[in-house]
Amino acid sequence: NAGVTQTPKFQVLKTGQSMTLQCAQDMNHEYMSWYRQDPGMGLRLIHYSVGAGITDQGEVPNGYNVSRSTTEDFPLRLLSAAPSQTSVYFCASSSGTQIGGYTFGSGTRLTVV
């Protein structure tokens, strides 16, 4: 049982490049979300999904796109990377019947130069 798997673990991008951060879970969780973690700012919600085909914006959605074509996968796309997007990104999932109880991935450390 792998839980929540994020790839890659590390990435360096040049300003203006695009990329996709992958997130997959094998727990049949309905709810998935993406957070970014920055020093002194805690975790901020970027986008979330309550099920396949349904996504919504969180607190800091600008510059990011998501889609949820399957229950298992929830990729995060950076359209045109900017240095302000240098951060650690976490994907999390939870059952729709559980209150809280998020399972987090191990994170992707992204540097935009």
Partner 1 sequence: AQSVAQPEDQVNVAEGNPLTVKCTYSVSGNPYLFWYVQYPNRGLQFLLKYITGDNLVKGSYGFEAEFNKSQTSFHLKKPSALVSDSALYFCAVRAITGGGNKLTFGTGTQLKVEL
What residues make contact with partner 1 under the rule CB under 8 A? 4, 31, 33, 35, 40-45, 48, 50, 58, 90, 92, 94, 96, 98-107
Integer Cα distance of 39 and 108 in angstroms: 15
Q: How far is the CB of 36 from partner 1 (least distance, A)?
A: 11
Cα distances (angstroms) measured from residue 57 to each of 10, 46, 47, 76, 96: 25, 6, 5, 12, 18
CB-wise, 16 or 96, nearer to partner 1? 96
Return the structure tokens found at 60. 């800091």
Considering the complex, what minimum distance in angstroms separates the CB of residue 39 from partner 1?
A: 9
- For the bound state, the minimum distance from the C-beta of residue 111 to partner 1, rounded and expressed in Å, comes to 15
Contact 49, 57 (CB under 8 A): no
- Between residues 14 and 39, which has the closer beta carbon with respect to partner 1? 39
Nearer to partner 1, 56 or 62 (CB): 56
